[in-house]
Chains A and B, each alone.
Chain A
Amino acid sequence: MNKKTSIFGGVTIIALALMVLMPILLPSVTLATEILIFALAALACNLLLGYTGLLSFGQGIFFGGGAYSASLVMLHLNFGLISALITAILVGALLALIVGALAIRRTGIYFVMLTLSFSQMAYFLAYTFSDWTGGDNGLLDVPRPALTLFGMTISDLQSSEAFYIFVAAVFAIVFVFSRRVIHSPFGTTLVAIRENEGRSSAVGFSTNHFKLVAFVISGAITGLAGALYAMLLNFAPLSNVELLMSENILIMTIIGGTSSLIGSILGAGSIVLMGDLLSSIWPRWMMILGAVLIAVVLFLPGGLWGGILSLTSKFPWKKVKTNVTSEVTK
């Protein structure tokens, strides 16, 4: 019952440690930034898939929507960094509200098909409205505005190190926020819906309202990730809204493990790293990704994080274990 402190303890400390270690251990800071951005998207996907039990192929819509909207308000309306990110959060939330409100009217396979259809529609919309989105070429020359708070310029964020620190700070805030969401009346109800929707309804929950709010929160975080990605690349490619993006986010979530938010960092990390390392060696590296996904699903049903947990539980390494198992059973 000491959950009050746990949103800053336990896995949050592991997440912070990873954020500090990544730029040191990885070949480039930009790579670490990309990992954290996709970890945000995977974490948002995890809220739906891991905690609510909703397999959504619509994550690319929110990611692309966030990237486009932040880019457009910066290019045309001269929005600053924070206001552009807030725009992306709101647009991601709004898109998720629309997709969610319609998709959760059905369950199971029909729900999945609806998110899939929305995903395809969003892609063709982005492709058609090329005046706004740049179509196939993507939206070019996306700026990365300076970070100013209360009129004070803190950093111009032009160096990749500075941008990494900014993204890491955003990630830390979202991570703690998500831990709060999970350990709240709302979050525990989501888990109840995942476990047994019929019973959840019988004890008095209007389950569709809960699913919809989960969608909106997930869309908001994914939109934020999309905006950061556009700022990282100085570019908002059409591939952001492709079905492949939704798939990638799902694969990261599943490979990392759906029982904990840490899994989302591991999942994003391993896929981004594999892409970076293997694509230079072998252009067909996606085949290896497929094999890894099959292996994880067959042999590590808890994902990478689940695998690490079962390893550490074999060692007398109590402190980590107790912190961590409480997260998993939640």
Chain B
Amino acid sequence: MNSSYLLETSSLGLDYGAFSAVGNVDLKIRKGSIHTVIGPNGAGKTSLFHCLTGERKPTRGSIHFNGENLTSLAAHKRVSKGMSRSFQITSLFQNLSVRENLRIAAQGRDGLNALKFWVPETANKANVAKADEVLERIKLEKYADRQAGELSHGQQRVLEVGMALCGSPSLLLLDEPTSGMGVDDIPIMTGLISELGKDHTVMLIEHNMRLVMSISDRITVMHQGNILIEGSPEEVKGDEQVKKAYLGESGHE
């Protein structure tokens, strides 16, 4: 096991009945990199992502994280191992304030210690501090006391990433962070992710090619459940197979 990789899958696969959503994937994510998985619709990106987060149990293969086999660990237990995720479809606590969204997300690190019902919720100062720190980092301080549901879509997407950040992860898994964002908001997300990349390992699925090409250190292209190629943005950009895979569909992006 090469220790310069934070996450390694070997022959990872996920079948739905006779259909193989993920075929046989060996994905390696280098520590400290921003690693993007792209591919046309139906390429198996989301299924792969679900296996990594623990939402789906892979049919075959294994997932090693920090040298530890997490293949069948429950999703909520992966947070304490240092994995944290965001959702493609915004998934916030809509009726709670922005600050409370972040504080609860930070509280998730406590696991069963959060069962304490005899102390104030602010008793764990580390969680309050984490929420404030992330609030500043995602630049939503002004909206701290606003309900999450009242934010604009772009701000909600940023909060979505912020909540994942509250888990103090070593690996940040982002599922289409710009999903549904307007063109004007995308630079904010691009800036945020590349800034997070400085002190986190980030693995993301993304469709916005400009974002992908500008911030990724490595890009894995998936096609029909398997890895087509993996390389730097330049290598991927010039690859004939990749062009064919995309144009063979409907010329997505």
Contact = CB atoms under 8 A, between A and B. Distances in A.
Given A195-B95, A196-B91, A213-B115, A188 B75 contact: no
Interface string B102-120: 0111011111111111111
B109 A3 contact: no
Contacts of B120: 3-4, 180, 183-184
A295 B16 CA distance: 47
B69 interface: no
A4 B121 CA distance: 9
Interface stretch (A93-101, A158-166, A203-211): A203-211
A29 interface: no
B121 A205 contact: no
Secondary structure dominating the interface of B: helix
Given A203-B79, A203-B167, A204-B108, A181 B117 contact: yes
Contacts of B118: 180-181, 184
A293 interface: no
Contacts of B116: 184-186
Nearest to B86: A202
Contacts, number: 114
Contacts of A191: 93, 96
Secondary structure dominating the interface of A: helix
Interface string A1-42: 101100000000000000000000000000000000000000
Contacts of B80: 204
A199 B58 CA distance: 21
A201 B115 CA distance: 14
Contacts of B47: none
B121 A209 contact: no
Nearest to A195: B93
Contacts of B103: 188
Nearest to A190: B117
Contacts of A201: 75-76
A209 B108 contact: no
Interface residues of B, number: 44
Contact of A185 (B76, B87, B105, B107): B107
Contact of A183 (B84, B115, B121): B121
Given A184-B117, A184-B119, A213-B117, A203 B95 contact: no
Interface in A196-226: 196, 198-207, 209-210, 213, 217
A188 B97 CA distance: 12
Contact of A186 (B75, B77, B105, B115): B115
Nearest to B103: A188
Interface in B154-208: 163, 166-167
B218 interface: no
A187 interface: yes
B121 A199 contact: no
A192 B96 contact: yes
Contacts of B167: 203-204
A153 interface: no
Nearest to B166: A203
Contacts of B94: 195-196
B53 interface: yes
A210 B112 CA distance: 8
A185 B110 contact: yes
A188 B115 contact: no
Contacts of A217: 117
Q: Which 9 A-B pairs have the closest CB atoms?
A: A204-B108, A203-B108, A204-B79, A186-B117, A195-B93, A185-B114, A203-B105, A199-B91, A181-B117
Given A1-B122, A207-B76, 6 more contacts: A3-B120, A4-B122, A188-B121, A192-B96, A200-B108, A203-B108
